[in-house]
């Protein structure tokens, strides 16, 4: 299913970052009373019922000294309108309407994009009347919410869900002959060179200048009886280095490409150690639930001895412990070194990503795991694990039925995951285990 993009826009200090945190369920955006604190777009994944979308928190819309929208913000708003499937226009319900609000309203009407007007900071019923003034902007029902306290957020999410583009809600059977492949990494690590080598043609522009690729470009090729659809994503820079303008929403397109893929090639550069930005990219790949291969490119440029590969592997495992399931391959996109091995590895991890395991085999494996290392007690009360069943693929997902989910310690859950991997492989893919208790349920990715 195509990943929808929802953009938050509005003047400074109206609560966009607080709403971003509330909708994504993570405190990733900085929340502060100082206007303009969000200088870079922040992307996250939000989920509501059976739908999922990429949420983008943008910088505040400023007004220049002449009373008009600043040129930079005009461009930023235009980009948001062009890239987003839905706009959440956030206004402060405690401040009067401003001329800039009406200018933004005119811009949004001309864009002909779905818009939900969100009147924020309506913390209680006594403030409901303050939201009524925003009817004059000419949009449908304003959604009076409190991002800080979570008031009426469910109603807003219901409206968002209804406005998202139509598409599958999930549960579809995977196409075993098609592998959607995303190539992700920092600028200038060789993504375009690798795509060109895979395609056997100079499809992508290759340059030493970082950030050459601004759009995600699709292309298909065949290997071992399967069709691979490869997307070369724009380089993901550190937030402080992302320029204003089109490059910033190129990041959104890259993240959407990762979300829509089956397998992600996470490119690192052999000539330099992993960076904090590499960690951010790796974290997004893991959170997206995509199968992953860690590709160390430019292997032809370093001097090697008998310990070089082991040394690089140790550095990568230490830096990205949450990607311990991802195989590592060293290669050269320039020379084509180990390209065939990479293609075989892509097909292999995709098979792991769609693996379905018989319930009888799962439960026999679970019994073996429990026999070797019985479930510990919590506060004197035993944790009883009754049953396991697979609930989905891409990534493999399982429901684990226990007496009380809160008694499951994350270390024992990791022990169960390791036992499943030891028995069934599942290399290159994250696992999701949903705990089902008599009184509660929680998930562990």
Last residue of a domain, one of 131, 163, 195: 163
**In a shared domain, residues 224 and 194:** yes
Whether the pLDDT of residue 4 is over 60: the answer is yes
**In a shared domain, residues 434 and 349:** no
Q: Is position 172 within any domain?
A: no
End-to-end CA distance of the chain: 21
310-347 pLDDT tens trace: 999 999 999 999 999 999 999 999 999 999 999 999 99
**Range of 293's domain?**
178-353
Phi, psi (deg, nearest 5) at residue 371: -70, -45
What whole-number distance in Å separates Cα of residue 418 and Cα of residue 412? 10
Contact 174, 14 (CB under 8 A): no
Both tokens assigned to 395 = 């990534």
Last residue of a domain, one of 338, 353, 368: 353
**In a shared domain, residues 187 and 102:** no
Number of domains in the chain: 3
- With CA atoms as reference, report the closest residue to 429 among 326, 303, 340: 326
Q: Is position 168 within any domain?
A: no
Q: What percent of the chain has pLDDT over 70?
A: 76
Give every strand in the sheet of 178-184, ordered side by side. Answer: 217-223, 226-232, 178-184, 263-269, 291-297, 328-330
Contact 133, 96 (CB under 8 A): yes
**Cβ density class 66-94: b for 16+ within 10 Å, e for less:** eeebeeebeebbebbbebbbbbbbbbbbe
362-375 pLDDT tens trace: 999 999 999 999 98
Cβ neighbours, 10 Å, residue 298:
21
Q: Determine the length of the chain.
A: 445
Rounded mean pLDDT, 102-124:
86
Q: What percent of the chain has pLDDT over 90?
A: 43
Q: Is position 169 within any domain?
A: no
What whole-number distance in Å separates Cα of residue 330 and Cα of residue 360? 38
**In a shared domain, residues 340 and 214:** yes
Whether the pLDDT of residue 242 is over 80: the answer is no
The model's pTM: 0.63
Q: Is position 421 within any domain?
A: yes
Q: Is position 299 within any domain?
A: yes
**In a shared domain, residues 189 and 125:** no
Phi, psi (deg, nearest 5) at residue 79: -65, -45
CATH number at residue 432: 3.30.300.20
Last residue of a domain, one of 329, 353, 377: 353
254-303 pLDDT tens trace: 677 788 899 999 999 999 999 888 888 898 899 889 999 999 999 999 99
Q: Is position 271 within any domain?
A: yes
**In a shared domain, residues 344 and 221:** yes
CATH number at residue 289: 3.40.50.300
3-state secondary structure 41-53: CEEEEEEECCEEE
């Amino acid at each position: 299913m195509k990943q929808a993009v929802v953009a938050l826009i509005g003047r400074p200090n109206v609560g966009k970052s607080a709403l971003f945190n509330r909708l994504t369920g993570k405190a990733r955006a900085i929340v502060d009373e100082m206007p303009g604190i969000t200088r870079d777009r922040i992307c996250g994944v939000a989920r509501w019922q059976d739908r999922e979308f990429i949420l983008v928190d943008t910088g505040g819309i400023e007004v220049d000294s002449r009373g008009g929208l600043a040129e930079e913000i005009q461009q930023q708003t235009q980009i948001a309108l062009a890239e987003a499937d839905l706009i959440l226009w956030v206004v402060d319900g405690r401040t009067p309407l401003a001329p800039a609000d009406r200018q933004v309203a005119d811009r949004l009407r001309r864009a002909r994009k779905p818009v939900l007007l969100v009147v924020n900071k309506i913390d209680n019923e006594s403030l409901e009347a303050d939201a009524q003034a925003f009817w004059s902007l000419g949009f449908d029902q304003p959604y009076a919410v409190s991002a800080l306290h979570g008031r009426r957020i469910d109603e807003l999410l219901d409206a968002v869900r209804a406005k998202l583009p139509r598409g599958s809600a999930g549960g579809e059977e995977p196409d075993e002959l098609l592998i959607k492949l995303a190539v992700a990494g920092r600028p200038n690590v060789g993504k375009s060179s690798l795509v060109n080598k895979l395609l056997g043609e100079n499809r992508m522009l290759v340059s030493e200048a970082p950030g050459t690729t601004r759009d995600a470009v699709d292309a298909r090729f065949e290997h071992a009886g399967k069709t691979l659809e490869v997307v070369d994503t724009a380089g993901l820079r550190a937030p402080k280095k992302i320029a204003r303008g089109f490059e910033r929403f190129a990041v959104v397109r890259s993240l959407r490409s990762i979300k829509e893929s089956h397998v992600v090639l996470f490119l690192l550069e052999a000539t330099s150690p992993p960076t904090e930005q590499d960690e951010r990219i790796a974290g997004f790949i893991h959170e997206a639930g995509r199968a992953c291969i860690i590709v160390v490119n430019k292997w032809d440029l370093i001097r090697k001895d008998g310990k070089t590969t082991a040394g690089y592997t140790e550095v990568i495992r230490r830096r990205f412990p949450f990607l311990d399931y991802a195989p590592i391959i060293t290669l050269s996109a320039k020379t084509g070194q180990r390209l065939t091995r990479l293609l075989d590895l892509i097909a292999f991890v995709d098979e792991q990503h769609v693996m379905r395991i018989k319930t009888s085999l799962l439960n026999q494996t679970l019994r073996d795991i429990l026999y070797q290392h019985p479930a510990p007690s919590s506060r004197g009360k035993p944790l009883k694990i009754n049953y396991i069943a697979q609930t989905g693929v891409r990534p493999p997902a399982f429901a684990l039925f226990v007496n009380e989910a809160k008694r499951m310690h994350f270390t024992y859950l990791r022990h169960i995951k390791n036992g499943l991997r030891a028995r069934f492989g599942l290399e290159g893919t994250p696992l999701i285990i949903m705990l089902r208790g008599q009184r509660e349920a929680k998930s562990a990715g």
